[in-house]
A = this chain, B = another copy of it.
Amino acid sequence: MVGAGTNKSKSPLTHSLSIILVRPQLAVNIGMCARAMANFGLSDLRLVAPKCGWPPSPEWHEAAISSAAGAAHILEGLKLYDTLDEAIADLNYVWASTARERGQAKPVLSPKVAMTQAASGFLQGERHGILFGPERTGLENDEVGVAHAILTFPVDPAYASLNLAQAVLLTAYEFFQASTGDLLPYAAPNRSPPAPYALTASFFEYVENALDEVGFFRPPQKKPIMARNLRNMFNRMSMSVQDVRTLRGAFVRLIEGRRKEP
């Protein structure tokens, strides 16, 4: 193992899950995997006997850093191994990612279910890692053999080929969600509090009275159901206090006519 470097991410997940690329072919794909990891707070990237070498030739190294798009710290900190056995020596649980059925008697799970298990294992002190094979051929059967379970993707069988970085992305995404509970980076702005019942009811009464005066409810016996439908439409807006004020102002103007110029 060489090249254990710094890690600039502040994510608490940073070393919770190891991404292990077995004999990856292209340096740019390694860069794209690093970017996908960074998006979801991971940073423990391991390479086993990369075909492109590591570090690759200067030209390809530059391309890899460019495709990592700001996640270069993960490339700087990646760990390099000669054999798969060394790369997984410290792990408690190993997942093999594979698109094809391998005839091996292991559990086969979706990323959602697998990463829920991995996140739960992490909380209990386990270290999990996921093996991804070379771009063109995937993992060899012997490599799948070392894993405790298989992870495969729910894809359209007519078009099942995910590229390497996409497979890493979906896996990291599910791990992040399982670990953080689908937390979003921001919520809907809430500049005005939700309107209390009395405020909306008063607005509805105002509008209904005005509609009554202009003969909107016809025949008159249909008024209750027509009014209820209107209230339902407005309630679907989940109005804030400000929304009610704005709407009421609009109706007042429509009903009372254009403001007299001073």
Contacts and interface: CB of A to CB of B under 8 A. Distances in A.
Main secondary structure of the interface of A (DSSP, over half): loop
A66 to B, nearest CB: 12
Contacts of A99: 185
Nearest to A112: B182
Given A39-B156, A70-B161, A154-B183, A112 B176 contact: no
A177 interface: yes
How many copies of this chain does the complex contain?
2
A116 to B, nearest CB: 11
Which bucket holds chain A's interface residue count? 35 or more
Nearest to A149: B188
Contacts of A247: none
B9 A156 contact: yes
Interface of A: 9-11, 13, 35-36, 38-41, 69-71, 99-101, 103-110, 112-113, 150, 152-163, 166, 169-170, 173, 176-177, 180, 182-189, 191, 240, 243
